[in-house]
Structure 1
Amino acid sequence: MSEMEIGALLLVATIVVLCSGVSIAFGLAAVAIAFLAIFGGPDALSAIPETFMSELSSFALLTVPMFVVLGAAIGLSRAGTDLYESLHRWLYRLPGGLVIANIFACGLFSALCGSSPATAAAIGKVGIPEMLRRGVPRALAAGSIAAGGTLGILIPPSITFIIYGLVTETSIARLFLAGVVPGILLVLIFSAYAWLASWRAARGVPLAEHFSLKQKMEGIGRVLPFLGIIVAVTVFMYGGIATPSEVAGVAALMALMMVMIVYRTRLPQLWLILVSSTRETSMILMIIAAAALFSFMMSYLYITQTLAEWMVGLDLGKWGLILVINLFLLVVGCFLPPVAIILMSMPVLAPVLATGDVDLIWFGVILTINLEIGLITPPVGMNLFVIRGVAPSIPATDVLWGSLPFVALMAGFIVLMCIFPGIATGLPDLLLGVGR
């Protein structure tokens, strides 16, 4: 069989295995081992243990468990509730202010935990009931939280950016900076839509309530320690004081100390944070190792090189190539989680993008926003299921229809970034110098 025929067979086998309900890590590993056994021979099989373990020995992977601990500590505490309440006290008089407060809370919470499902769950558990009680349309309430939660993989610290940086060998610090401005702009765009939707619906009018300046400042006081973590991460990483791995460790320690001091977290809850972090880290690392084995198999059988040569041979030009890749990512993003997509696709796409003179830092942001769309697009949009879990009274159709306007906004923002790439590259170039 030719390499293209093997590649087509591999695609079908991978889709069948992943759709069977098998976990992504074990599914990828099983497909890789089977194809190496059939088409590679004994020599290829002998490289499996070394490939699997060497991928996990990277020092840079220390950032993953540390940022996971950071996210778990914030996500399993009352930080999300306090963040939402604090913003609501300042924005309650604004038309659609309650929805905007939730979107801003999602943005700030994303900067603390770096996880989209965790952001949607933490803010949604508090924000959605409050919005419904004040007459906000169900679709808008659910859609704003589902879309706001996606910012967890864009606004740093982001596990997605860490994995992307490791796979493409690009600077994680530069990727983090590249996600800041797009993340802020998406928060503002989402908020503008929420204001317009609330104004046009003439609903969601706040209850007759009033918060004094003292009450507003009390809310900020409980949130400030956690915002201090964001400042510390920024200063340590971009001030050249520490590496991303060291910054992740400091941030995780600070988060644990904060939840213990501010919320008086006791040992059982602290144990729950550590257990949750261990489970999520194990899942991510297993996917990373299995995807490395999958990538090794594709390279060993010359599938990766053949696909890259085929895509270059299409002669689509830079923007034609970007369009095709984005359409591909939109489709697979509806079925697979972001980490798996990056690990499976970037070993093939990175050489093609390099040939097309595409800035990998800029493309990392484009890819992440694309994956955000997948998180709120059926049939496997993770955040859609999270919203259904925290707000079972809202029908699935309302959750879906409420998310679609935000899907359109993110798709439009991708086009905007193609026209103005400096939205992503401007800040890292300014602070770290021009580079890739």
Structure 2
Amino acid sequence: MNNYHTYTLNNGLRVIHLPSDSPVVYCGIGVRAGSCQEETGKEGVAHFCEHVTFKGTARRSALQILNTLERVGGDLNAFTNKEDTVFYAAILRDHLPKAVDLLCDIVFHSTYPDTEVGRELDVICDEIESYNDSPAELIYDDFENLLFCGHPLGHNILGSRDVVAHFTADDARLFTRKHYRPDNAIFFAYGDIDFQKLIKLLERHADVIGTTMKSDEKAPISSGSTDLSETYTDPGEHTHIVQRNTHQAHVMLGCRTFCFDDKRRLPLYLLNNILGGPGMNARLNLSLRERNGLVYTVESSMASYHDTGVWSVYFGCDHHDVKRCLRLVHHELDRLMQRPLSQRQLHDAKQQLKGQIAIACDNREQYALDIAKSYLHYGKERDIDLLLQQIDALTADQLLDVARYTFDSERLQTLIYE
């Protein structure tokens, strides 16, 4: 799994390839241009650019872009998150030249036609409204805004309809000219292809010229108090309530945690899986759902960024059960803070996590995207063998220390949709 090939073109574009024995190739371009790179008053422009990048180049119309890979059974897709935008394709290896040509064309040569941009704005605004109608998803954004208020990490990736509706083709051109540069991007491929052939294909597009504008400047994350908007009421120091009149109450609690390179991130990764990972035997699922029948969904999650991270628990329940559910969640946190895992508990937790990682690696599309993220942001090849070794080396005392720091009630914030 770790027999990577890497290369850097003269224009600064980094290339990474992981061979496989599959005739299906997953490839794409990752750009360090997410919502964190947006200027104040332009929230949502990174996601807007992702959409309109498909709307035409000097060589292709929007329809031709859609048909280039679709007509040979391929798939073209994209997504935007806090720190990057990724355009990627899945194709049979014989059609790799088509995919490389198309991806380089749309990312580095899109023209953002005014008529196409105008039509796409309606689509994006509908997406925003659909998202606003889903409190189980929206609460994640509101919670991060609570933790990172005043910093770009806090605002919604999609942006608000009031702002996005006024975006123009010039907004797309300005943002992409600044960030969609070969020296700010990578090309990744996972499949049974010849690496030298891939490099030759990419070198045909090496005339793409970057700019001298910097795209990786980040605002420092303030450690000051949270500035709640007038739509919130604050019944306590760490609890924040939003009146949304939802059928269920939706609840999140958590805190800022560790960046990608922090040595405490891996112990938290294991703790998070014990608490609320995908297994039905996760402690929170056993407590809130299986034993007490209080929730349909309860899960914990973590995300790591360049300078910080987030750990959180989410559940939805009847309004009158919120306090009881919170007590049960804190009980499980207290258990992990009060005593170390036994040797058997630690062994079983490691085996479960390693098994989940192995199965996840079998999802080839997601694995290709994980390779892209690791190489784009950290210049590292994804080393699964090393990760499994590091999990094996974790001790019960390490987990106890991280639990006592992360789950301390003085650090936790709680957000409730009523």
Q: TM-score range by the shorter chain?
A: under 0.3
Structure with greater strand share of residues: 2
Structure with greater helix share of residues: 1
Query: TM-score scaled by structure 1?
Result: 0.27
Query: TM-score scaled by structure 2?
Result: 0.28
